[in-house]
Amino acid sequence: MAERMLQFVRLPQMPPEKRDAATRRSDFGEIYREFAADAAAAQASRCSQCGVPFCSVHCPLHNNIPDWLKLTAEGRLEEAYEVSSATNTFPEICGRICPQDRLCEGNCVIEKGFESVTIGAVEKYITDTAWERGWVRPPKPRRELPWSVGIIGAGPAGLAAAERLRTRGYQVDVYDRYDRVGGLMIYGIPNFKLEKEVVLRRWRQFEEGGIRFHLNCAVGKDVTLAELRARHDAVFIATGVYRARDIACPGVGLEGIVPALDYLTAANRHNLGDPVPEFESGALDARGRQVVVIGGGDTAMDCVRTAVRQGARSVTCLYRRDRANMPGSMREVANAEEEGVTFTWLAAPEAFLGDGRVSGVRATRMHLGLPDATGRQQVAPIPGSGFTIPCDLAIKALGFDPEDVPAMFGEPALAVTRWGTLKVDHRTMMTELPGVFAGGDIVRGASLVVWAIRDGRDAADRIDAYVRAKAAPAAMAAE
């Protein structure tokens, strides 16, 4: 091992090549090229095989990272895939879109002095290779079980639970109000981070494995939660968070001021070939526009980079804190800068100007003050520092809150927290309704795909335990 691994002292970090900014501005393809086999093996060999791997500790799925890095370095890719897929339902997706700088790679111990192992890129390489070589198979139950589970929401949390339950033999029905499977992975996250075929091929395999999808089916409207509870032995709610936070300032009602998710969904649907009247009319298309995106998270980064690709005349990101205090991934900020986005740090909108349609954003400079109880530095406006940015498309990317799920489902007994997220017992993941479980963003608040996968997998285990415990007395009575 010593010879093959620990190469970080000799080999520099070499992530997969990025397409140059000028080319990637003109299309929606992913920006990273694939690793060549020898490059992936060489990069994997930089791992020092830590006794206590902090990379795994800080991966929400506790992936066995050193093991699959070693197997990759040795060219044993099929085994690497077996190990990697044992803990992660979508390793190729996490390899693409996890903020690795905050998770596994940010905690790689060779990071200090040497650059971290390129864990995400190797994870993506392993599973992309597994797809190419036909190693990725539909979920295959060893035997069919008589129990069924209803899952509300076909995002990563719902899908991870569905796959795990189906593999164990459960009859699984997934209900989603959208017309495609994937949740925010299909309609939120843009193609240049996650090409849609990567999600769609999983959907096809899940169907092949016997998971039944009921699309265009909004629970609370087309079917009630009470009906699903009667139909299934357990229900898992994984409906995500979709209520966009708004800005309260003069002019916010002008035409041309749009919520981020409306804008991104229209772009994704258009790229998928769907007719999108709001895109075709120009209302949600940035072509030729002077775009201002308000916010500093990953959604804001996705909006600015989408606007660049649509051919916007100019794209500015307005954020009230500075670069160091931005919630978005630094990697995405750097990508946006390379692609020509202007960042205006420490500035917040005061008013939208215009007559009918927005023509400018009046902004004020902000000052970073002392940290509050949460440790975050407070921001305050600097008097008399106002300035105007020309703008004919303003995109609000200020985060998301949960919809009112008890009202949506007509179930007042579903308890919520003071943030509106669903309240669950954290040991069982069960809501206050017996047999109804919940996970993903609807419990955590807006979070990450990898955490949703973790919740889906954990929920499947809890549901399995619950259904078996409930069935045990009946089975005993029948004996």
Q: Which residues of the shown chain bind ligand SF4 in the complex (CB under 6 A)?
A: 47-50, 53-55, 59, 61, 63, 65-66, 88, 94-95, 98, 100, 103-104, 108-110, 117, 119-120, 123, 450
Confirm if 438 and 422 have CB atoms less than 8 A apart: yes
Site for ligand FAD in 80-139 (CB under 6 A): 97-98
Q: Which is nearer to ligand FAD, 65 or 94 (CB)?
A: 94
Give 286 or 301: the residue with its C-beta nearer to ligand SF4.
301
Q: Which is nearer to ligand SF4, 31 or 348 (CB)?
A: 31
Q: Which is nearer to ligand SF4, 329 or 364 (CB)?
A: 329
Residue 114 or 135 with smaller CB distance to ligand SF4: 114
- From residue 376 to residue 405, the character string flagging contacts with ligand FAD as x (rule: CB under 6 A) and all else as - is ------------------------------
Long-range contacts of 440-444 (CB under 8 A, 24+ apart): 440/153, 440/155, 440/156, 440/157, 440/158, 440/238, 440/239, 440/240, 441/155, 441/157, 441/240, 441/241, 441/400, 441/402, 442/153, 442/237, 442/238, 442/239, 442/240, 442/241, 442/402, 442/405
The site for ligand FAD, by CB under 6 A, has a size of 38
Please list, residue by residue across 320-343, b when 16 or more beta carbons sit within 10 angstroms of its beta carbon and e when fewer do: bbeeeebebbebbbebbebbebeb
219 binds, among ligand SF4, ligand FAD, none (CB under 5 to 8 A by kind): ligand FAD
Q: Which is nearer to ligand FAD, 169 or 183 (CB)?
A: 183
Q: Give the Cα separation of 172 and 165 in Å (integer).
A: 7
- Whole-number Å distance between alpha carbons of 428 and 462: 6
- What is the nearest approach in angstroms of ligand FAD to the Cβ of residue 441? 4
Residue whose CB is less far from ligand FAD, 39 or 165? 165
The DSSP bridge partners found for residue 243 are 401
3-class SS letters over 23-39: HHCCCCCCCECCCCHHH
| Least distance to ligand SF4, CB of residue 37, Å | 19
Q: In sequence order, what are the beta bridge partners of 257?
A: 394
Instruction: Identify which of residues 94 and 436 has a Cβ nearer to ligand SF4 in the complex.
Output: 94
Q: Are 470 and 233 in contact (CB under 8 A)?
A: yes
Cβ-based nearer residue to ligand FAD, 39 or 237 = 237
Instruction: Choose one: 28-36, 203-211, 297-305, 353-361; the region binding ligand FAD (CB under 6 A).
Output: 297-305
Q: Single out the residue of 183, 272, 244, 178 nearest to residue 399, CA to CA.
A: 244
* Maximal C-alpha separation, the chain: 82
Q: Closer to ligand SF4 at the Cβ: 100 or 271? A: 100
Say whether residue 31 binds ligand FAD (CB under 6 A): no
**Distance between CA atoms of residues 47 and 8, nearest Å:** 7
CA distance 357 to 255: 4
- Find the binder of ligand FAD among 154, 161, 346, 424 (CB under 6 A): 154
E-strand ranges in 260-331 read: 290-294, 314-318
Q: Which does 178 bind (CB under 5 to 8 A by kind): ligand SF4, ligand FAD, none?
A: ligand FAD
Interaction between residue 189 and ligand FAD (CB under 6 A) = yes
Q: How far is the CB of 77 from ligand FAD (least distance, A)?
A: 25
Q: What Rg value do the Cα atoms of the chain yield, rounded?
A: 24
d(CA 250, CA 447): 30
What character string, x for contact with ligand FAD (CB under 6 A) and - otherwise, covers 311-350?
----------------------------------------
Placement of tokens 């077996």 in the chain: 82
Q: Taking the complex as a whole, how short is the minimal distance between the CB of residue 72 and ligand SF4, in angstroms?
A: 11
Pick one of ligand SF4, ligand FAD, none as the site partner of residue 53 (Cβ within 5 to 8 A by kind): ligand SF4
Q: How many residues does the chain have?
A: 479
In the bound state with ligand FAD, the residue whose beta carbon lies nearer, of 154 and 346, is 154
Per-residue mark of binding to ligand FAD, 424-453 (x: CB under 6 A): ----------------xx-----xxxx-x-
* Helices and strands per DSSP (H, E), number in the chain: 18, 16
* Euclidean distance between CA atoms 247 and 290, whole angstroms: 20
Residues 156-185 that bind ligand FAD (CB under 6 A): 156-158, 175-178, 183-185
- Measured on CA atoms in the order 57, 203, 407, 434, is the torsion positive or negative? negative
Q: How far apart are CA 280 and CA 46, in angstroms?
A: 49
Smallest separation, CB 146 to ligand FAD (Å): 25
156 binds, among ligand FAD, ligand SF4, none (CB under 5 to 8 A by kind): ligand FAD
Closest approach, Cβ 329 to ligand FAD, in A, equals 7
The site map against ligand FAD for 212-251 (x = CB under 6 A) is ------xxx-----------------xxx-----------
Instruction: List the Cα angle 328/105/20 in 5-degree steps.
Output: 65
Q: Is 40 in contact with 75 (CB distance < 8 Å)?
A: no
Asked if residue 381 lies in contact with residue 222, where contact means CB atoms within 8 angstroms, the answer is no
Binding site for ligand FAD (CB under 6 A): 97-98, 152-158, 175-178, 183-185, 188-189, 193, 218-220, 238-240, 261, 264, 298-299, 302, 408, 440-441, 447-450, 452
